[in-house]
Amino acid sequence: MVEKKGFKIEEFYFEEAGTTIPLQLGYETYGTLSPNKDNVIMLCHYFTGQSHAAGRYDPSDASPGWWDAIIGPGKSIDTNKFFVICADSICNINFFNPKVYTTGPGSKNPKTGVEYAMEFPIFTLKDVVRAHKMILDSLGIKNLKAVIGPSMGGLESFIWGKYYPEMVEKVISVFATPTMRPWTLMVPNQLAIDSITLDPDWNGGNYYGKKLPLTGLLLAFKVLLMATRTDEWAENNFGRRLVEDGPSPYKSFNGKFLVQHEVEKIVLGRMQFFDPNGFLYIAKANTLFDLREGKETFKDAMQKITCPTLMVIDESDLLFTKGQAEEALKYLPNARMHCYNSHNGHLSCIFETDYFAKEIKGFLN
């Protein structure tokens, strides 16, 4: 059993936005902190994830946290040895989930008494990492055995490695590379942003207390889901089969192939707690990800990540590719890659952990 803890920052400064607001974040821990506080692993969650990475809040919970398969006693991230911390992101997408503590556009601005909406500061993943470090500082933790994360969490792990080299012993990035290429900037991130803002119910972001722009949110999440899967995944699971009940797509635009029906079903099942504005801001933070600052070259930025680094790459991933990883390996001083092909795309980093569980365990040990 696990519990959600809350952390408040009275004044948090957003570096690029140049503004300061109060911030609240939730976090969970697994395992026992050693007396010297030297057995800590920082876990960073993925785009639509949150800090509930393992265990259950109650025995009756239908399912455990999102990486429960590899976090726990005797598992790859062994909580008999390590103390694992996972924190909610700034502006977590799951804003309406009562178990998620986060500050975002749906939070009320204490100065006005109304929701921030689009007045919320645009933030970067570096801001997220800085906020998470404040949680560690409050716990007296000065050293991390490793920073680990899948997808967006993998991007954050590189930020930890670059900006806190004296603190981080190892970096494990799962299905992420140290770059956000222009194609990935557009697909799925900018296309998802456009999907939401084009919904008339979005109303410039001022929809709180009114009808949410769910049509735009549905389309944004479908764009995200398809970008994180593959043709083989769709063919193997659905093929060109039709939905059995309802009109034929050969006779009506309301008719659906099974892939259309099932993708929408998956999305609707997961977006009940999503705040559309939260989706916008997280997508924006991903588009802004760049380890290079000022006049830094890619090589310069990579060479600042000096700790042992492991990149786990799926050859079927459309977003962060083997080629991108190989390019980074040329300049990372102490890095290697574990590569495989699930044929199921980016989301296999959450649902098919058997492909890399032993590799992570070996690298940690």
Confidence bin at 3 (pLDDT 50/70/90): very high
pLDDT for res 298? 96
How many CA atoms lie less than 13 Å away from 308 in the CB half-sphere? 10
| Domain boundaries defined on the chain | 5-180+290-364, 186-283
Q: Is the fold of 5-180+290-364 the same as that of 186-283?
A: no
Distances (CA, A) of 258 to 223, 255, 261: 17, 10, 5
> pLDDT tens for residues 81-120?
999 999 999 999 999 999 999 999 999 999 999 999 999 9
Confidence bin at 345 (pLDDT 50/70/90): very high
> pLDDT tens for residues 125-166?
999 999 999 999 999 999 999 999 999 999 999 999 999 999
Confidence bin at 172 (pLDDT 50/70/90): very high
> pLDDT tens for residues 193-227?
999 999 999 999 999 999 999 999 999 999 999 99
Residues with catalytic roles? 151, 317, 346
Element (H, E) at 308: none
pLDDT for res 46? 98
The two tokens of residue 241 are 């089969």
pLDDT for res 266? 96
**5-180+290-364 belongs to CATH 3.40.50.1820:** yes
- 106, 102, 132: which is closest to 120 by C-alpha? 106
Q: 269 Cβ partners below 8 Å, 6+ apart?
A: none
> Within a 10 A sphere around the Cβ of 61, how many other Cβ atoms?
12
User: How far is residue 79's CA from residue 192's CA, in Å, rounded to a whole number?
Assistant: 37
pLDDT for res 222? 98
> pLDDT tens for residues 15-46?
999 999 999 999 999 999 999 999 999 999 99
246-268 average pLDDT score: 96
How many CA atoms lie less than 13 Å away from 3 in the CB half-sphere? 2
> pLDDT tens for residues 273-331?
999 999 999 999 999 999 999 899 999 999 999 999 999 999 999 999 999 999 999 99
pTM score above 0.85:
yes
Tell me which of 3.40.1410.10, 1.10.1740.110, 3.65.10.10, 1.10.150.120 is the CATH number of domain 186-283. 1.10.1740.110
Percent of the chain surpassing pLDDT 90: 99
**Average pLDDT, rounded, for the chain:** 97
